[in-house]
Structures are given as C-alpha cells and as structure tokens.
Structure 1
Amino acid sequence: MHRRHLARLLAIAGSAVVLAGCGTTISGKAVSVFDDPFKVAGLQAVDGASGLRSDAEKPTRTVSDSNGGKDDEIAVQSVSDLEEFWKANYSGTFDGEFKPVKDLISWDSNAYDGTFCDDSTSGLINAAFCQDDNTIGWDRGVLLPALREANGDMAITMVLAHEYGHAIQKMAKLNKKGTPTLVAEQQADCFAGVYLRWVAAGNSKRFTLSTGDGLNNLLAAMISFRDPLLSQDDYSGTGDEHGSAFERISAFQFGFTDGPSSCAAIDAQEIGQRRGNLPIELQQDQTGELPVSEESVRSIIEAMNILFSPKNPPTLSFDAASAAKCPDARPSAPVSYCPASDTIAVDLPGLQKMGASTEGQDTVLVTGDNTAYSVLVSRYMLAVQHERGGLVLDNAEAGLRTACLTGVATTKLSKEVTTSDGNTVALTAGDIDEAVSGLLTNGLVASDVNGESVPAGFNRIDAFRIGVLGDQDRCIKRFP
C-alpha cells in the first residue's frame, strides 16, 4: 500500500513576515453576542500603531552592560512595564506580594566575553530568566535586532513577557521539582498573553498593541518559537520541549482571553488532553510531504466523504473558471464552493502555489502543503454546512464556523483514512502548524462562501482551535 500524507513542516523566516494575503475582510455588524467576530476577547479588532510610545514613561529599571542602543531601550521599557502590570495584578491571583527580578543583563552574542547565569554569552542567541540568581537577560547582538526586524518592537516585549512569566512561576511556586519543561514554557506563553491583553486594552503607559495587524505579528512570531519537527529517528528525548506553534499560540490565547488563573491551570494533564491523538513527530516511513496534484486533491475530498458521509457529496471540479458563474457565491480562489450547484471548484495551479514550501526565504512566513489542503477542506466544510441547512454561509459567523469545522476535520484525519485507490490520507506532525500559518497569511480557512475572512488572525486561529479540540455540534453552537 502506497502511503500518502499531508504536509509536515512550518517554520518562520528570519525577517519580515507578510501577513496580507488572498482573503478579503468581512465588514458589517457582528451577528453573535457570544463570539463577536469583530472583537478580540472583548476588544475591538482594529489595525493601528504597535510598539513603544513616543511619549512613553521613563523606565523604572536599568540594565547591566548595555550599549545604550534602541533594542536595549525597548527591552528595559518592557521589563519596567511588565513589573508595573504584575505589581498591580499579581496578588489578585496568587498568594503573597509581587517582587521584581533582581537584575537585568544585556550581552552581545558576537562578543567573546561576558556571562549570564554562569554560562558564557559568546554565541548565546537567547533571552532567559535565570532561577539561580533571579535575573533576566537578553542578547542585543543578534536576537533582539532580528525580533524587531521580523515583527516590530512588540516582538521584543512579547519575548520578555514570556521570560517574566517564568519569574512569576517561581514566585507563585506553581511547579514542583521535575515538572516537564513543556508545562513551564506554556505557562510562560500564557502569562505573556495576560500582560499583552493589558497593553492591547490601552492600559500601558509605554506600549501600544493593535488587535489586528499588531497582534497578528506577535502570533507569527510565536510560530517561529515552536519546537523543531522531529522524527522517531532523531528524537532526542531530552525533555526540553516547548510545544508546537499551535500549542504555544493556544496557551497565549488562554492568557489573553481568560487571565492569569488560566495559566496556573496549565499542567501535564491539561496539555495531554489538549494534544489528544494529534501527532507530534514523524513516523519512520513518513516524509510529511504530499505535493498538491489532481490525484491528491481527489484523495482528500474522498477522505472527507468517508469521514463525514454526506447524503449527496459535493461535486469536485478542476474548472476554476466555473466558479465565476455561481449564482449565489463569489469565487474564493484557489478553491471555491458554489451552494447552488454543490460544487467545489479548484484552481490547481493556484492551490499548488499556495502549498509550495517557502522554507529558506527571508520575507514570508514559511508555509507548506497543508496550508493549501486546509483551504480545500474548508470549502468542503461549507458543503457540509449547506447540506445541514438553516445556516447562513455568507457572513462573519460563517467564516469562523468554517474555521472551526475545518479544525474538526483536521483532528479526524489524525487517524488514517484509506481511499478507494488503496492510498491513505492522514495527519502528520506539523500539519496543524501549517494550517495556522495559513490562517494568518491569507485567512481563507476562516472565510465565508465568498472568501471573506474576519479581520483578526487571533479570532481565526481561536475558532480553528475550538474545532480541533471539539466537534461539529460545538462549532455550530459557538458560531450559529
């Protein structure tokens, strides 16, 4: 039996991330009180300025060994702001009083002298919290400039919010000795989300963060911090696990939406439940690559038919031009769904372009095969909604509902589906991260029947995550 699988790998380029794409944005009034598509965790979803304010308050901290540059300035302001936030909010969740970290340390990883946490800083391209002496340090030579170039000022702030999250862990005595690294890291991601919600709400006297493009850039940066994809052959088993992009963004969203108590609730059991049966490493016989072709598209549509068993499966067409003739929907290239004819029309060259690997390029978020396949599946899920009846397909709720149902379909593919040609289609490690990348770069997975997506990438990913962790009924109830 020849095995065919969805794509595996998502990474991020070292410089600017392109977050505009194929999808257009839905305008109009929100249609749900429970989940407003035009708000992000209760905040209006808007683009705008993000970064250090021109009239920012002076920092309350200083940094050792600084060169006085802009990156160190942003870092020191970030820690000053974080300490202002936690001073006001720590005791509301945890016992005791908040105490600032002892010292801040800057180094240049290109230099040959210097130490941090008893380690040489030569070649140390990192930022970290040192538990031994209660300090936070960062590399101003490579890391901070790269963060700013790729995702703006707030990328530095987010990284330091994560590191300060580790300080909060220690202060609150959240984790016993032997707690897995994965738990500590996702708690810290969550704490970063708590603080950045405060900034996005306009409470910071030093920084601004828009809930549209500003927050999208931070989510893109989080993708870059995911664990590298490993196979059974090279899995090291060191326990130094931080989580996939999907997992890390999920933890960040918990904090942003639900506050610091949600971070304290993250433990090994919660992460295990969240992972379920989702693959985290490639099997020995997997390449993780399934190039987009007519054959592969037909296999995935057949797999969807097997998984969802519609009474009247949608027709698959490779006549992309036919989408323009649909009387009740506009084209959403490279894959369109027409309710009137119950047809999925695929622009194969366009879908192949979307699924092509961009790994190694410096100006885009690295995507892969499942960036394309998830869009194909999303149009299939519109057909599922159409057959169900009674659901509006051309508004903002439909876009989020489609993202949610695509998440449901993605999880169903964690078990192999054998198609009539004897091949199998199955989710592999990295596929969900590729879908998340697409949700940021083009938004089509979270778009309605006309290809229009909700404004905020945060909401698109959140809806997809609800589906990955839920089922069809949950999606319909959440986005009626």
Structure 2
Amino acid sequence: MPSRPLVGAVIAMSATLLVTSCSTTLKGNAVSVFDDPFSVAGMPATDGPTGMRSDPAGPSRVVLHTDDGDMDELGRQAISDIEEFWEANYSGTFDRNFEPVENLISWDANGFDDTEFCGDSTYGIVNAGYCLDDHLIGWDRGELLPALQRAHGDMGVTMVLAHEYGHAIQYQSGMIDEDTETLVAEQQADCLAGAYMRWVAEDKSPRFTLSTSEGLNSVLAAVIGFRDPVLNEDDPEVGVDEHGSAFERVSAFQFGFTDGVQACASIDMREIGQRRGDLPVLLPEDRTGELAITEKSVEDVVAALNTQFSPQNPPELSFKPSDCPDARPSPPVSYCPATNTITVDLPELEKLGAQAESDDGVSLATGDNTAYSVLMSRYMQAIQREHGGVTLDNAEAALRTACLTGVATTKLSKESSTPDGNTITLTAGDVDEAVSGILTNGLVASDVNGESVPSGFSRIDAFRVGVLGDQDRCFKRFD
C-alpha cells in the first residue's frame, strides 16, 4: 500500500503478519442454519484430530525409488486416499470411469541418485508434480514434504498431493488440454483438492481426519504458502507460469470444498478476471509495496477511509490508551463505540506489520497490510455503529467486520486522497497479507471485543464477500 504526495517523491507502503497477536474465539449458538457463523460450508466448526489416523487403512500404492522413510509412507497413503475419493466420485461427475495414475516416484532434492522425473534430473528440484507424458506423480521427500509437514502437518502434505492429482483428473476428464492457461489449470486443481478435503472433513476417509477449525486452517495455510511471488511490472518473470495470489488460490480451494467437484470446471480466465477485479497484481517499478507504520501513515489511512466512506461522524483517532465503557481492548487497534474512537498501540502495530523472513518456501504472506488491515477493520466497526440496527459484539459482527474490511480493501486498491494532498493505495501483495492475518490471528474478523469465530475458512469467506461486493451485501448477509 503506497502513500505518496501528489507531487514529489514516492513513499512505499505495504503490510505484514504477526502470528503471535491473536483474537479470542466466540462461543455460542447461531440463529440461522442458513447463515451460521459457527459453521464451515454447512458443516459444524469443530475441534478434533487432524492428520493420519492411528489405525489407517493400508496403502494401495507403491513408490518407485523410495527410501522407505516416513515421508514416502505419508505420500503413498495420501495418494491411496485421494484415489479412493476419486473412485467414489469421478464417474458421477464426469460420466466415465476413473483411471489411476500409472506410477508414483519420490526423490531427495539433495541426493545424487540419478533419479529422473518427467525427463529431468531431480537434483535440486524441491517440488511435487504431475507428469502428463508419463501419467505419474512425484515428490521431493528430502526438502519439500518435510517442510510442509513441519509447517502444516500431515494434511499440508496431503493437500499438495491432492492438488497434483487434480492435474491428472483435469486431463483425464477433458477439463483442460495442453493449450489451457496455467492460471486456470492451477486454480482448478486447487478447487479439486478442496473437494477431496471436504470428503476427509466429513469423516469419509479411512486414512485421514480433518477438523473444520484448526485442522482446516492449517490446510488453508498450505494453500497460501504456494501463492505466486509479488513481482514488479518490469520483472522478466511477469506472466510466466502464473498460478495466482493467495486470495485467488484460497478462493478456488473454498469453491471445491463448499460446492464440490462440479464447481471446479467453472473456473476459467473470465471467472478469475471477475474475481480479481481491479485488485493490484504487480508492483510499480522499483517499489517494495511497504510503508513504514508511523503516526502519519496511520492518520493517512484513516483519512483515506474518510474520503471513501464519508461518514457523518468520522471516528476519532488516538494513540493513547483510554477506558471504554462498552467494549474491551483488542490491541494493537481497538474501537470504542461509546466514544467513537479508534485507539492505536503504535509499537504493537509496527510489530504486527513487520515483514518476516523465511526461506522454507511454504510460509504465509507477511507485510505492512496485516497491520493496516486491522486498522481498517476497526474503522469499519465505526461504520457499523453509524449504520445502526446491528450488534457489534457477537459472531455476526465479527464476520460483518471482515466483510466490510473486504469492501474497504477494494476501495483502497484505487488511489484515495487525503485532505493534506497525499494518496493511499493498496499494492500487489497487500490482499494476501490481509488474508494471512485473517487466517492466523483473526483480528480483522473480530467484533469490538476482539473476539472472532473459530474457523479461518469462514473468516476468509466473509472477507471475500466484501472484496467482491459492497456494504449493503455485508449488512444483509451478516445481520
């Protein structure tokens, strides 16, 4: 998100994620079975075991070039399970018989064992993939799978292999061909993996379990970890092998999880374009997209929101703690309805917005907009107060806040002027930072007491409703 004078030098602004700052979780019973904040795509949001069962069904597949270690055992169990799902669901969707992939192969990216995958040496290949020519699936057991398991558990590994198997399904069913855009193929595969994960969450898998709260949150984190890197407009990699942002890939996964396999074929360039809308995709040349978190930048963001939403009584902004008679603090940014005041703990907001460094290739997005999106969410609580007729301290309010923050995100993706002549604009990567924060700490999707719902899936879904909709839609959906 950049802040820049209308005339003069450009100052970069962006966003970050801090996992240690988190909201609490609301408990209770929702009022409608059709719009239940305590459900996940029609399923109860429940805690429970996630990962391989203690007594899983035996694997039906063998792995070529295996070292007989734990990673290959997890891989072949995952593929065996994914194939059982497709055996049960393929013919009902595609009106033909399912054909499993020919072989599975593993390698150690650090090894010198002359293993080849799809005609290439596997040395240094930290990846998993589907090879169309040989109709086989392979993975790196030395670096990739261990990193996925450390970061996201057994189901992070299974998610990636379900995505790769999705490519096999696409070609076999005729959903895509070799001329299909990579962006479409990748997001369809995310969607197909989502349909499989729904089957696991419904307790139909003989090998794995998946809770719909923290377990599903970990799977979504794995999806986010494989987002495209943020590129500048002059980067030579622009448009090459594009897979999609975290926002886009999580959305595709959620389509499959919610609506099943049949939803995946509807993902094409037109649909992706509609979902992407005017959200920024590339950074301007020589820009990082990061803006230092200072009193001035916070004031500029609030001023830009005033420009976009024009409330009759704009909220006051304070950097000093004060008592609030009708809401508990939710640092680093709190909103007090009684005084219509947004209170910012600037040092803690800076920490939330700091960019984390990671070299494991499977991490969440971090940056300044994880912090600024929380600030935006508290502003949108003020908008709810002015709207009237809604409660600000329950589960519906938490998801409504996420939804309205999505609306604000879309508005700030265009230049927003401030009274002193500056502009605030979201940049490429900012939305992914917001999505990562929504998943891990839930602050953007919390009520005025900082309480959220247990499902990151539901929080992100509410945010997407706002990104693709407007204020009226948020108030109607989360009333």
Q: TM-score range by the shorter chain?
A: over 0.9
Q: Which residue of 1 aligns with 2:392?
A: 393
Listed as ranges, the gaps of 5+ residues in structure 1 are 11-17
How many Å separate the matches in 2 of 1:70 and 1:161?
A: 18
Please state how far the C-alpha of 1:342 moved relative to its aligned partner: 0.9
SS in 2 for 1:128: strand
Relative distance call for 1:25 and 1:361 in structure 2 (3 A) is farther
Q: Which residue of 1 aligns with 2:213?
A: 212
- Contact 1:3–1:423, Cα closer than 8 Å, also in 2: no
Q: Which residue of 2 aligns with 1:98?
A: 98
How many Å separate the matches in 1 of 2:177 and 2:98?
A: 20
Q: Which residue of 1 aligns with 2:358?
A: 360
How many Å separate the matches in 2 of 1:295 and 1:250?
A: 34
| Structure 2 counterparts to residues 175-190 of structure 1, below 5 A | 175-190=176-191
SS in 2 for 1:90: helix
Relative distance call for 1:237 and 1:369 in structure 2 (3 A) is closer
- Contact 1:417–1:425, Cα closer than 8 Å, also in 2: yes
Q: Which residue of 2 aligns with 1:164?
A: 165
| Structure 2 counterparts to residues 59-458 of structure 1, below 5 A | 59-112=59-112, 113-237=114-238, 239-284=240-285, 286-319=287-320, 321-322=321-322, 325-360=323-358, 365=364, 367-458=366-457
- One-letter amino acid matched to 1:356: A
Q: Which residue of 1 aligns with 2:22?
A: 22
- Contact 2:16–2:371, Cα closer than 8 Å, also in 1: no
Q: Which residue of 1 aligns with 2:4?
A: none
SS in 1 for 2:375: helix
- Contact 2:234–2:285, Cα closer than 8 Å, also in 1: yes
How many Å separate the matches in 1 of 2:115 and 2:252?
A: 34
How many Å separate the matches in 1 of 2:35 and 2:63?
A: 42
- One-letter amino acid matched to 1:347: D
- One-letter amino acid matched to 1:344: I
- One-letter amino acid matched to 1:390: G
Listed as ranges, the gaps of 5+ residues in structure 2 are 1-6
| Structure 2 counterparts to residues 454-473 of structure 1, below 5 A | 454-473=453-472
How many Å separate the matches in 1 of 2:379 and 2:75?
A: 46
- One-letter amino acid matched to 2:270: Q
How many Å separate the matches in 2 of 1:352 and 1:31?
A: 38
Please state how far the C-alpha of 1:9 moved relative to its aligned partner: 7.3
TM-score, with structure 1 as normaliser:
0.95
SS in 2 for 1:257: helix
How many Å separate the matches in 2 of 1:415 and 1:366?
A: 22
TM-score, with structure 2 as normaliser:
0.95
Q: Which residue of 1 aligns with 2:3?
A: none
- One-letter amino acid matched to 1:445: V
- One-letter amino acid matched to 1:96: R
How many Å separate the matches in 2 of 1:66 and 1:287?
A: 42
- Contact 1:407–1:467, Cα closer than 8 Å, also in 2: yes
Q: Which residue of 2 aligns with 1:14?
A: none
Please state how far the C-alpha of 1:287 moved relative to its aligned partner: 2.7
Q: Which residue of 1 aligns with 2:14?
A: 7
Q: Residue deviations 1:232-270, cap 9 Å, x none?
A: 121424530010111111100110111011111100100
Q: How many residue pairs are counted as aligned between the two chains?
A: 470
- Contact 1:110–1:141, Cα closer than 8 Å, also in 2: yes
SS in 1 for 2:227: coil
- One-letter amino acid matched to 2:335: Y
Please state how far the C-alpha of 1:365 moved relative to its aligned partner: 4.5
Q: Residue deviations 1:374-402, cap 9 Å, x none?
A: 00000000000100100111000000000
Please state how far the C-alpha of 1:359 moved relative to its aligned partner: 2.1
Please state how far the C-alpha of 1:4 moved relative to its aligned partner: 4.4
How many Å separate the matches in 2 of 1:70 and 1:183?
A: 33
- Contact 2:192–2:261, Cα closer than 8 Å, also in 1: yes
